[in-house]
């Protein structure tokens, strides 16, 4: 009820993507930006993941969401809030899939920056995903990118 008073008016694109999915998008864009370069291929893999994993079909909605999240991230990066939302809302299996998504973003350039590795380990810990499961997710991500 109180959200009526605190939430700003949402654009149609924001209304189509729920908060849990937005939290995952924030995490992916944070992973893409951790090396301070948000490359076009990182944007493309994030867009592909959004479309495939979350059944968002509109290219314009996906592109607009990525741009808005990226802008907001520069102003207010809040890893704890986004990981808590995912941890509280999603099953362990879904959280493992989130880690795989993050690995896909970081592996797209065939080079894992130490900061990217550290960030995914930190997010995995905050999501209560064990290191073994994170490593398995990394292998799955690498395998799927090689296809």
Residue 15 or residue 89, greater confidence = 89
CATH superfamily of 17-146: TerB-like (1.10.3680.10)
Closest CA to 25 of 54, 4, 3: 54
Please say whether the beta carbons of 27 and 82 come within 8 A. yes
Cα dihedral 87, 71, 39, 78 in deg (nearest 10): -30
> Per-domain residue ranges for the chain?
17-146
Query: What is the distance between the alpha carbons of residues 55 and 37, in angstroms, rounded to a whole number?
Result: 27
Strand (E) or helix (H) holding 90? none
Given this model, what pLDDT does residue 99 score? 98
Query: What is the distance between the alpha carbons of residues 104 and 130, in angstroms, rounded to a whole number?
Result: 18
Given this model, what pLDDT does residue 26 score? 96
Q: How confident is the model at residue 37 (pLDDT cuts 50, 70, 90)?
A: confident
């Amino acid at each position: 009820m109180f959200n009526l008073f605190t939430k700003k008016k949402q654009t149609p694109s924001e209304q189509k993507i729920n908060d849990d999915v937005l939290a995952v998008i924030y995490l992916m864009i944070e992973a893409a930006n951790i090396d301070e370069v948000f490359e076009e291929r990182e944007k493309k893999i994030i867009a592909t993941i959004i479309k495939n994993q979350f059944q968002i079909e509109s290219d314009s909605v996906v592109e607009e969401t990525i741009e808005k999240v990226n802008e907001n991230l520069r102003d207010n990066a809040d890893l704890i809030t986004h990981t808590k939302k995912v941890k509280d809302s999603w099953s362990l299996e879904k959280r493992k899939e989130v880690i795989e998504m993050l690995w896909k973003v970081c592996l797209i350039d065939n080079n894992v920056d130490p900061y990217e590795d550290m960030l995914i380990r930190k997010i995995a810990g905050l999501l209560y995903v064990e290191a073994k499961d994170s490593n398995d997710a990394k292998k799955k991500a690498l395998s799927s990118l090689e296809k």
